Chain A
Amino acid sequence: ETGVTQSPTHLIKTRGQQVTLRCSSQSGHNTVSWYQQALGQGPQFIFQYYREEENGRGNFPPRFSGLQFPNYSSELNVNALELDDSALYLCASSRDGYEQYFGPGTRLTVT
């Protein structure tokens, strides 16, 4: 059984740019959630996708958007990057939306 994978591992962007992060869900999972984890903090829920539809959103501005594809993989897009967007971005998949299986994350640095 393949676990959750994310790409890229690390990314450096400049303020104002746009970024796309990718996630492949675990086999058999139809729900994907994205989290932002700042240094020394717990993961903060960004949004969840279930069968290609957004199924819940945290307190993040609209410049954070996402997609889920028919194979249940997902993208997180962030427009107009700000310095405070520097963080570890985690993707998690699940069968039921509750028990989450996490990927290794993408470390985003905005300069």
Chain B
Amino acid sequence: AQSVSQHNHHVILSEAASLELGCNYSYGGTVNLFWYVQYPGQHLQLLLKYFSGDPLVKGIKGFEAEFIKSKFSFNLRKPSVQWSDTAEYFCAVIRSSASKIIFGSGTRLSIRP
């Protein structure tokens, strides 16, 4: 069955540190990939997406993610985090021409000021 794995459940960083959150998926066909963010008290927002083309995609607030097809990965990165990046981050995958989006279990990011 199709699945999405986010191995880091809780990440704690200091401000200005670099961030990388892992995401791996199990489906071997053509996929569309997403990172969503949920700030405290707010609803899920789209951070960035990959449909096709350049495997390095840039999203809002300085985030980027790289799609590596051979590794079935779509890791999220940010060179320098801020306290305001404290949130829960979800990776999601959908097969092309499908309707079912599979979410990972999420990574909670805490930033120390």
Contact = CB atoms under 8 A, between A and B. Distances in A.
Contacts, number: 56
Interface residues of A, number: 25
B110 interface: no
Contact of B44 (A45, A99, A102): A102
B43 A102 contact: yes
Interface string A54-94: 01111000000000000000000000000000000010100
A44 B90 CA distance: 12
A48 B101 CA distance: 10
Contacts of B6: 42
Given A98-B32, A98-B51, A99-B49, A45 B43 contact: no
A33 B44 contact: no
Nearest to A42: B103
Contacts of A35: 103
Nearest to A104: B43
B99 interface: yes
Interface in A23-65: 33, 35, 40-45, 48, 50, 55-58
A50 B99 CA distance: 10
Nearest to A47: B99
B46 A56 contact: no
B106 A48 contact: no
B99 A48 contact: yes
A57 B42 CA distance: 26
B46 A101 contact: yes
A56 B100 contact: yes
Contacts of A102: 36, 43-45
A102 B104 CA distance: 16
Q: List the 3 closest pairs (A to B, CB-CB), nearest first.
A: A56-B99, A42-B103, A102-B44
Interface of B: 4, 6, 32, 34, 36, 42-46, 49, 51, 90, 92, 94, 98-106
Given A45-B103, A102-B36, 9 more contacts: A40-B105, A42-B6, A42-B106, A45-B102, A55-B99, A57-B100, A90-B43, A99-B49, A103-B43
9 contacts: A42-B6, A44-B103, A45-B102, A50-B99, A57-B100, A99-B49, A100-B34, A102-B43, A105-B43
